Amino acid sequence: MNLIFIHGRDQQGKNPQELQTQWEEALERGWSNAGLSRPNNLNVIFPFYGDKLIELMEVLETPLVADVTTRGAAPDTKEASLRGEMLAELAENAGITDEDIKAHYSGQAVEKGPLNWEWIQAILRALDSTPMGEATLDLFTRDVYVYLTNRAIRKAINKIIKDKFNGEPCVVVGHSLGTVVLYNVLRELGSQANAKYCMTLGSPLGIKAIKRLLVPPALAMPTGVLEWFNAYDERDVVALRPLDSEVFPIDPSVRNKSDVDNHTDNRHGIVGYLDDREVAQWIYNALTQ
């Protein structure tokens, strides 16, 4: 059976084999915690797109939120709206109030909203109090925004992943931005993916602005997938909420696990998800059914 891992952002310059080993070792710890061992005839596939993503980002020269007014970059209202919405939702999920944001706001008058870049920057500075921090969340929203709005970049990244599907039965596991890639790739491949089970870890798919960029077509369970399992730590600021019938209305509905105790520093790291006992148990069951 093939197990396909789809990593998230910020992996550029890293050794793909070492990353794959890190993922496998974390999963095997999870299996050990569950009293299981590695399934026989398991083939792990780890498509690496980290270098290609940053290469394309550098060509595009999309500014970070922190650079828009402080360094003279021209604001784009569409980008401001979408990235501002993302950051506002992240702040709300983290329990950050308008008063917290105002403490970081330097404008003459408080004009809240996604079209006010200074307000967006204030949200970002307030988010620096979260485990992921200001800089990481700035990069995260930029990369997600560009992947979802730039067709050429999305096509290039998706191709790297799609080329690893060989028509054999597989289980697909994505993390962070990789869950957005996973969803798009499985929708594009349809039954050709032959993916009966998929898992999303630390997924931002519940963010309203991200969800809107996925349609059309209407949200749906990828063709051929029998079960979708979504797991997250409620302290993970990127994984806003469960992908339940209210947030992510598809049929059959996504199965959610919200009580992962992600032990990584930012509560978002892949190791803290894969070595969770129930996560590992679900992957084992999917691989051996």
Q: What is the CATH number of the domain that holds 213?
A: 3.40.50.1820
Please check the confidence at residue 157 and state whether its pLDDT lies above 90.
Answer: yes
- Measured distance between the N- and C-terminal CA atoms of the chain, rounded to whole angstroms: 10
Residues 155 and 255 in one domain: yes
Residues 216 and 128 in one domain: no
Please check the confidence at residue 185 and state whether its pLDDT lies above 60.
Answer: yes
Residues 180/196, Cβ–Cβ less than 8 Å: no
Of residues 150, 81, 146, the one with CA closest to residue 119: 81
Residues 135 and 74 in one domain: yes
Residues 141 and 163 in one domain: no
Residues 22/62, Cβ–Cβ less than 8 Å: no
The per-residue pLDDT for 74 is 47
16-33 and 277-288 helices, crossing angle to 10°: 100
Q: What digits encode the pLDDT tens for the residues 86-135?
A: 999 999 888 999 899 989 887 665 556 545 678 888 898 999 999 989 88
Q: Among residues of the chain, what percentage have pLDDT more than 70?
A: 90
The per-residue pLDDT for 43 is 97
The per-residue pLDDT for 83 is 82
Q: What digits encode the pLDDT tens for the residues 50-83?
A: 999 999 988 876 656 665 544 444 455 677 678 8
The per-residue pLDDT for 71 is 40
Range 145-166 average pLDDT: 94
The CA distance from 172 to 181, in Å, is: 11
Residue after which a domain boundary falls, among 85, 114, 149: 149
Residues 85 and 171 in one domain: no
Residues 16 and 80 in one domain: no
Residue after which a domain boundary falls, among 149, 177, 194: 149
Report how many domains make up the chain: 2
The per-residue pLDDT for 46 is 98
The per-residue pLDDT for 68 is 55
Residue after which a domain boundary falls, among 149, 179, 199: 149
Residues 131 and 247 in one domain: no
Residues 188 and 237 in one domain: yes
Please check the confidence at residue 261 and state whether its pLDDT lies above 50.
Answer: yes
Q: What's the chain's average pLDDT?
A: 90
- More confident of the two residues 282 and 135: 282
What domain range includes position 216?
A: 2-55+151-288
Range 7-35 average pLDDT: 97
Residues 129 and 100 in one domain: yes
Q: How many CB atoms lie within 10 A of CB 90?
A: 23
Residues 35 and 155 in one domain: yes
The per-residue pLDDT for 27 is 98
Q: What SS3 class is residue 170?
A: strand
Residues 238 and 175 in one domain: yes
The per-residue pLDDT for 121 is 85
Residues 166 and 259 in one domain: yes
Of residues 166, 170, 200, 169, the one with CA closest to residue 183: 200
The CA distance from 43 to 30, in Å, is: 18
